Structure 1
Amino acid sequence: MVRGRVRRVSYLASILGNGNSIGANRNQTRPHIEHESKSADVKVPGTTSTHYVGPVEYVASFTIGTQQIQSYLVIDTGSDLVWWQCEPFADDGCYNQHDPLYDSTTSGTYETLDCFAKSESCFTSDEVVCWHSTRECLYDVIYEEGSRTRVWIAEDTITFVLDQNQEKILFGCGKDQMGGVQSFGPEYSGIAGIGRRELSGGYSLPSQFGADIMAMCLSGIDSQRSTLSFHTTPFEKTISAELLPDPSNPEFYYVDLYKVFINDKEITLNPSIWNFRNAIDYSCLVDTGTAATYFPRDFYNVFRNTFRQEVQNIRLVNGPRPGGFDTCYRVDPGVVPNFPVVKMYFGHQDPNNPASHGTR
């Protein structure tokens, strides 16, 4: 499932106006006030465990509410909302999940957000509005591949499973997850948006915790588990690439990509495309919720042709494949293929040491 960046919804009223409990043709208001981070003055919580669930997803483990419902949420740096499925549902609004379902009516710490009484916590946008008639802070998010979640923002406690730190957070109480063209997977009960911290408002976990440091290790397929931390990292410091901000999209993470090799052949990068600071819209978005890495078309064509030239004695499958992939190979059973080595260098090159690289 390729989740990617969320698709912006311009007219939430028309999307929600379907006659159900959310309400049809109701007037909406968007308070325009200066928001402050809900938890900027609290201690950043600790560490929870992460797991690889495949084929491309990593999940973080939390327990939710006073019932301590065990939940796995997809870790997504490409979005800024935390949500999970929330009983009772709208008609046919629930997708099948392996975890126990969270029921807001049984949690003693659950509270629906009143967007009038707590207007500073209803961060209005194309996806979130304060609904005048019910005073509910409604959200409707459609992800890039077409999956969708919606209803209202609420508050409840989550517990980090490794150190048992507990925090009350704002989250999307998902009453309807079946309105999109794609469904969510049964391996998780929602998504943990961990987009970059916003200094003024924001629903991502770093924004709510006031966390400037986040450490996450993406474990291998065969690994049992790893960790996600919002205060300190349990790993030794290694070569790193700076995560860069984009003022027009402050919730996302970006990184410079400055060298690409296929075996020993360097694929030339056009500085007008790849220099982040000179062309901010063309740098690399870091998104743990996306399965594939995408290049600009002109660069991809050169990359693809060079890769094909380097492949020896492996049959190319003719024609495009599902997902738009145009360079796929057929490998005979029992044969271990020898594909070219692709190296991508992120960060920047030390001007005092031209032979140096960032991280790859």
Structure 2
Amino acid sequence: MPLAHRHGPCAPATTSSWPSLAERLRRDRARRDHITRKAKASGRTTTLSDVSIPTSLGAAVDSLEYVVTLGIGTPAVQQTVLIDTGSDLSWVQCKPCNSSSCYPQKDPLYDPTASSTYAPVPCDSKACKDLVPDAYDHGCTNSSGTSLCQYGIEYGNRDTTVGVYSTETLTLSPQVSVKDFGFGCGLVQQGTFDLFDGLLGLGGAPESLVSQTAETYGGAFSYCLPPGNSTTGFLALGAPTNNNDTAGFLFTPLHSLPEQATFYLVNLTGVSVGGKPLDIPPTVLSGGMIIDSGTIITGLPDTAYSALRTAFRTAMSAYPLLPPNNDDVLDTCYNFTGIANVTVPTVALTFDGGATIDLDVPSGVLIQDCLAFAGGASDGDVGIIGNVNQRTFEVLYDSGRGHVGFRPGAC
């Protein structure tokens, strides 16, 4: 599946104005805080792909997140959706949404009455009852005298979606479709959504695309997030089946959180700037890091971020540092006006098992001339690796083999 940034030219064109970077990052910080609170509350434990979908940066839907274009229904209706490893239940906005109950989106609304394969899930069914453990249930709704299963989701930035839990045919590529795919037919959305048509959940809970297709693809998937608006990446289901196919990957163990099956957790053991390891006590990073495609900025425990910021500012001392703005999430931003060549130091992340990845320079280190990291978590608490740091890597999630892999230069 091709993957694109939702603000990039590879995403469909739109005439709406972009939200400001500060506003997008405030929403992103709310998401980071929400995920880390959930993780902290839960405690801590320790074939070649058959389908590939282009991914892109989401310029066309006014977002700094990443999108894929899928087909839903029979006949298939094109929908542009965010990819999100930090949530599970997929959804799209559905007719009869109107301006008071739904937000403006890029593509025409999906109409379930026009599809021959759409089916609402009954309220007394096992599929509906299975929503309860993962807190996606929202009671029942009566339609034409029938009691239907209702889902509800509130995201970290307080955006909400409510509608009918349903099944449908999901078309991933012309040759590959998923029948009876469980998803949310969104009838009421509230919040500050961008122009995307919905969301594709890639978390580890049973409601996600990954779990629903596990019998076919083994519960494994990978993606590559392109560095900018002019290129595409990919979202792939399945995992390499032999050693030759894993050449170029660096692996680290994959961990889970009790009662939080959604999240993918790895152990970060060190950070380097310009090839020099930072002095970060091991206890600071002991909470682990959730890898999240739907979060933009990487959130580190405060001591780790302070060490990174100091080293990065020292390495960038030749360039004018902008004064901090209390309204902004990012505090290390530069004025490169009139400077033809900017040398950005390498930033490397080292994980459990010794896997060390050099982030792409500059796309994986800077966002709009600012260091794409932030503090805010207490030492020892879980952090989050955002999508900026993941750019150009193929990130392989393989729960069956219990590891996460990083392959540089994949898109």
TM-score by length of 1: 0.75
The root-mean-square deviation of aligned C-alpha atoms, in Å, is 2.7
Matched with 1:206 is 210
State the shift of 1:228 in Å. 1.9
CA distance in 2, matches of 1:129, 1:58: 28
- Residues 6 and 79 (structure 1), Cα distance of their counterparts in 2 relative to 1, 3 Å cut: farther
- Residues 262 and 358 (structure 1), Cα distance of their counterparts in 2 relative to 1, 3 Å cut: closer
Q: Is the 8 A contact 2:266 2:288 kept in 1?
A: yes
Of 259, 263, 285 in structure 1, the residue corresponding to residue 274 of structure 2 is 263
Matched with 1:24 is none
- Output one character per residue of 1:32-61: Cα deviation in whole Å (capped at 9) or x when no partner: xxxxxxxxxxxx973333222245322122
Alignment of 1:272-287 (within 5 A): 272-275=283-286, 282-287=287-292
CA distance in 2, matches of 1:173, 1:131: 14
Matched with 1:111 is 119
Matched with 1:96 is 104
CA distance in 1, matches of 2:338, 2:81: 36
Alignment of 1:161-180 (within 5 A): 161=173, 163-177=175-189, 179-180=190-191
State the shift of 1:270 in Å. 2.0
- Residues 293 and 147 (structure 1), Cα distance of their counterparts in 2 relative to 1, 3 Å cut: same
State the shift of 1:112 in Å. 1.4
- Residues 307 and 232 (structure 1), Cα distance of their counterparts in 2 relative to 1, 3 Å cut: closer
State the shift of 1:252 in Å. 0.7
- Output one character per residue of 1:272-317: Cα deviation in whole Å (capped at 9) or x when no partner: 2324xxxxxx210110011100111122122212222222221222
Matched, 1:295 2:307: no
- Residues 146 and 263 (structure 1), Cα distance of their counterparts in 2 relative to 1, 3 Å cut: same
Q: Is the 8 A contact 1:61 1:161 kept in 2?
A: no
- Residues 45 and 108 (structure 1), Cα distance of their counterparts in 2 relative to 1, 3 Å cut: farther
Alignment of 1:111-190 (within 5 A): 111-119=119-127, 122-124=130-132, 125-131=134-140, 135-161=147-173, 163-177=175-189, 179-180=190-191, 182=192, 184-186=193-195, 188-190=196-198
CA distance in 2, matches of 1:185, 1:256: 32
Q: Is the 8 A contact 2:320 2:336 kept in 1?
A: yes
Matched with 1:320 is 325
Q: In structure 2, the residue corresponding to 1:315 is in which secondary structure?
A: coil
Q: Is the 8 A contact 1:49 1:161 kept in 2?
A: no
CA distance in 1, matches of 2:87, 2:212: 14
Q: In structure 1, the residue corresponding to 2:54 is in which secondary structure?
A: strand
- Residues 341 and 119 (structure 1), Cα distance of their counterparts in 2 relative to 1, 3 Å cut: closer
* Structure 1 residue identity aligned to 2:84: D
Q: Is the 8 A contact 1:153 1:170 kept in 2?
A: yes
Of 258, 261, 280 in structure 2, the residue corresponding to residue 247 of structure 1 is 258
* Structure 2 residue identity aligned to 1:291: I
Q: Is the 8 A contact 2:55 2:67 kept in 1?
A: yes
Q: Is the 8 A contact 2:278 2:308 kept in 1?
A: yes
CA distance in 2, matches of 1:151, 1:314: 50
- Residues 231 and 283 (structure 1), Cα distance of their counterparts in 2 relative to 1, 3 Å cut: same
Q: Is the 8 A contact 2:284 2:303 kept in 1?
A: no
Q: Which has the higher strand share?
A: 2
Matched with 1:278 is none
Matched with 1:64 is 72
TM-score by length of 2: 0.67
State the shift of 1:231 in Å. 2.4
- Residues 162 and 294 (structure 1), Cα distance of their counterparts in 2 relative to 1, 3 Å cut: farther
Q: Is the 8 A contact 1:56 1:290 kept in 2?
A: no
State the shift of 1:156 in Å. 1.0
State the shift of 1:85 in Å. 0.8
Larger radius of gyration: 1
In structure 1, list runs of 5 or more residues that go unmatched.
Answer: 9-43, 276-281, 350-356
- Residues 97 and 119 (structure 1), Cα distance of their counterparts in 2 relative to 1, 3 Å cut: closer
Matched with 2:398 is none
Of 212, 225, 233 in structure 1, the residue corresponding to residue 232 of structure 2 is 225
Q: Which has the higher helix share?
A: 2
CA distance in 2, matches of 1:118, 1:248: 20
How many residue pairs match? The answer is 304
Q: In structure 1, the residue corresponding to 2:226 is in which secondary structure?
A: coil
Q: Is the 8 A contact 1:122 1:129 kept in 2?
A: no
- Output one character per residue of 1:114-164: Cα deviation in whole Å (capped at 9) or x when no partner: 121445654114341332766332222222233222222111111112533
CA distance in 2, matches of 1:332, 1:5: 31
In structure 2, list runs of 5 or more residues that go unmatched.
Answer: 1-23, 36-48, 359-411
Q: In structure 1, the residue corresponding to 2:131 is in which secondary structure?
A: coil
CA distance in 2, matches of 1:51, 1:126: 30
Matched with 2:381 is none
Same amino acid, percent of matched pairs = 28
